[in-house]
Amino acid sequence: MKKIILTLLFSCQVMAELPKQAAIASAHPLATDAGHRILAQGGNAFDAAVAVSSTLAVVEQQSSGIGGGAFWLLHRAKDGKNVMIDGREEAPSKAHADMYLDKNGDVDRDKALYGPLAAGIPGEIAGLEHLAVNYGNLPLSISLQPAIEAAENGFKAYPRLIKHIKNKEKVLQRYPASMAIYMPNGKVPEVGDLIVQKDLATTLKAVAEQGKKGFYEGKIAELMVSASQQHGGIWTLDDLKSYEVKERQPITTNYRGYHLVTAAPPSSGGIAIATILNVLSAWDLTEMDQAKRIHLVTEAMRRAYRDRSIYLGDPDFVDIPTQLLTHPYYAEGIRAAIHPDKALPSSYLPGIGENPKGQDTTHFSIIDTDGNMVSATLTVNTGLASGFIAAGTGVLFNNEMDDFSAKPGEPNAFGLIGDEANKIEPKKRPLSSMSPTFVFSDDQVAVLGTPGGSRIITMVLLGLLDFFDGHPVDSWVSKPRYHHQYLPDRLYIEKDALSAETIKQLEAKGHEIQASSGTWGNMHAVYWNKQTGEVAAASDPRTTTGSAVVK
């Protein structure tokens, strides 16, 4: 028997063709170019991930940055290792559960979202060093070079960035170092204006020379801590020095012949996706009419987000019942309670307790010609984060502390609620929705993910279902989207996503539908056909700067 399995494995490997080209899809052409440049210099997918991440940290600061955090999901071809690098932000040691409550016990949204008190200790730089040292071929001094150039020489302002600067104008005006970058003459930049970041270039150079020490210790660390404390923040030098990246075992699950490798806690994404797919696996969605399919998918989303709000948090602080939540028997119980034609009001589900759509955070996907892969989602939380740049460093502080539950049952910026499992504690990492994912079958590989706050999980799910339906990569990223997150009890749909007839049928099943005035998400995905060796890449058509390049 063992021999037969080994022979089968061997014959599968012989059949598989390595990727004929490398594929990178990211949210900005400069970042995608940086990745390909590093591959051409002898780097692998992991070095390219360093270049893409750091360049996005310069040119797409509304979405991610070295003052923020990330999850990099890696597949190493030579030994098949899958691992998630957790560079998530961490609560400072002086953080406590009530830190954002006012004297009436209400959450002070300004404190939770703006200025240095909103910021967790960043993880991105530690993650980049970990990638380079443990998985890459090249030193940081080479793979950070494109980002250093982009910061030093500047890049052209574009509409999505400008929109975020306008939205955050009042907050940016509180901090001179933020104004100097985003509104140099006191004015919001226009399309094509050059955004130059000399201090950020200096900070990146310190990291290129000294590794993470250049950021977490010494002069840059001192400047960040004193700027934080001067403006009401609580970071300490020791918080920075003691920050460490963690390697997490990804969540895995199977769905109708596909094997998924996806984000582990402190992301909620992998567990939620596994629960939802387990629930759906008994139904042939491909054969179903649209309203029935959306109804069943929505009911599964509702239950998975309920579980998210109760059980999920930083796995180093809470016992997460991962086995239960990802087990097919658990899904069977959920499925049995789903009515084929009626929505269950969320208030009927035992649990706790406006959902703005996320346009922040960023995602990229990479496959190199050896078959190494990276699916990475990076964030500073909401658009342009806390709005606070520490003078002399160019580092925009995240506002990831808002991903904690500041008060049980109280919605955060994404309308998500949480309880004890995700309460604020010193050195804890806030629960995330970021869901970088790989899917493997005998002859195909998909790499995908997206930004979008609480909607990340359902966007990745819909991309996956589209792949399972047999559609190509440009379809996964462009498919119209819908979303349910338990509370508020509402089925959100993108503008023009569904026909009037489908909406009527869903309303008849009891769904309250809220059509969005726009779209959401910014998915970047790559695909590898292992039989032919062909690769493909696609960027979400919803934004104009997406850049998917195969070469």
Query: Which positions are catalytic?
Result: 361
Q: Which stretch binds ligand GLY (CB under 6 A): 97-105, 122-130, 252-260, 428-436?
A: 428-436
Choose which of 432, 450, 502, 543 interacts with ligand GLY (CB under 6 A). 432
Q: How far is the CB of 380 from ligand GLY (least distance, A)?
A: 8
Pick the binder of ligand GLY from 33, 368, 403, 466 (CB under 6 A): 403
Q: Interacting stretch for ligand GLY, rule CB under 6 A, among 110-118, 432-440, 464-472, 504-512? A: 432-440
Asked if 505 interacts with ligand GLY (CB under 6 A), we say no
CB of 385 to ligand GLY, least distance (A): 9
Reference 421, options 317, 520, 345; nearest CA is 317
> Is the CB of 19 or the CB of 266 nearer to ligand GLY?
266
Site for ligand GLY in 362-381 (CB under 6 A): 379, 381
Please state whether beta strands 373-379 and 547-550 pair in parallel, antiparallel, or not at all (unpaired).
unpaired
Which residue is it, tokens 């991105």?
A: 124
Min dist. Cβ of residue 359 to ligand GLY (A): 11
Which is closer to ligand GLY, CB of 136 or CB of 383?
383
Minimum Å distance from CB 400 to ligand GLY? 6
State in angstroms the smallest separation of the CB of 361 from ligand GLY: 5
Whichever of 39 and 320 has its CB closer to ligand GLY, that residue is: 320
List Cβ<8 Å contacts ≥24 apart for 12-19. 12/442, 15/443, 15/530, 15/531, 16/443, 16/530, 16/531, 17/530, 17/531, 17/532, 17/533, 18/369, 18/370, 18/371, 18/533, 19/367, 19/368, 19/369, 19/370, 19/371, 19/528, 19/533, 19/535
Rule CB under 6 A: say whether 453 interacts with ligand GLY. yes
Q: Shortest distance, CB of residue 67 to ligand GLY, whole angstroms? A: 13
Closer of 211 and 265 to ligand GLY (Cβ):
265
- Strand segments (E) across 147-257: 155-156, 194-195, 246-248, 251-255
* Alpha carbon distances (Å) from 410 to 104, 425, 501: 14, 17, 35
CB contact at 8 A, 7 and 23: no
The string over 276-304, giving b where at least 16 C-beta atoms fall within 10 Å of a residue's C-beta and e elsewhere, is: bbbbbbebebeeeeebbbbbbbbbbbbbb
Of 331 and 487, which has the nearer Cβ to ligand GLY?
Answer: 487
CA–CA gap between residue 71 and residue 127 (Å, rounded)? 8
- DSSP letter assigned to residue 164: H
Q: Which residue is closest to ligand GLY by CB?
A: 432
Strand partners, 390: 395
**Structure tokens, 419:** 């309880």
If one asks whether residue 433 binds ligand GLY (CB under 6 A), the answer comes out as yes
Q: What is the CA radius of gyration of the chain?
A: 22
Q: Which is nearer to ligand GLY, 272 or 525 (CB)?
A: 272
Question: At its nearest, how many Å lie between ligand GLY and the CB of residue 521?
Answer: 13
| Number of residues binding to ligand GLY, judged by CB under 6 A | 9
Q: Which stretch binds ligand GLY (CB under 6 A): 29-37, 153-161, 417-425, 431-439?
A: 431-439
Burial class (CB in 10 A: 0-12, 13-18, 19+), 145: buried
The residue to which tokens 């969005």 are assigned: 516
Give the x/- contact pattern for ligand GLY in 28-47, rule: CB under 6 A: --------------------
Residue 371 or 387: the one with the smaller Cβ distance to ligand GLY is 387
Q: Exactly one of 294, 320, 434, 550 binds ligand GLY (CB under 6 A); which one?
A: 434
Provide CB contacts within 8 A for 285, sequence distance 6+. Answer: 293, 296, 297, 465, 468, 469
CB of 503 to ligand GLY, least distance (A): 28
Among 361, 386, 422, 519, which residue sits at the site for ligand GLY (rule: CB under 6 A)?
Answer: 361
Going through 113-182 in order, the beta strands assigned E by DSSP cover 155-156
Helix (H) or strand (E) holding 548: strand 547-550
Q: How far is the CB of 444 from ligand GLY (least distance, A)?
A: 28
Q: Which is nearer to ligand GLY, 275 or 361 (CB)?
A: 361
State the first-to-last Cα distance of the chain, in angstroms, to the nearest integer: 42
Cβ proximity to ligand GLY: between 523 and 535 the closer is: 523
Q: Sketch the per residue contact string, 383 through 402, with ligand GLY: x for CB under 6 A, - otherwise.
A: -----------------x--
x-marked contacts with ligand GLY along 67-96 as a string, rule CB under 6 A:
------------------------------
Q: How far is CA 247 from CA 66, 71, 80, 283, 423, in A?
A: 19, 10, 16, 35, 23
Under 8 Å between Cβ of 405 and 412: yes
Considering only 427-435, 436-444, 482-490, 512-520, which stretch makes contact with ligand GLY by CB under 6 A? Answer: 427-435
* Residues within the interface to ligand GLY (CB under 6 A): 361, 379, 381, 400, 403, 432-434, 453
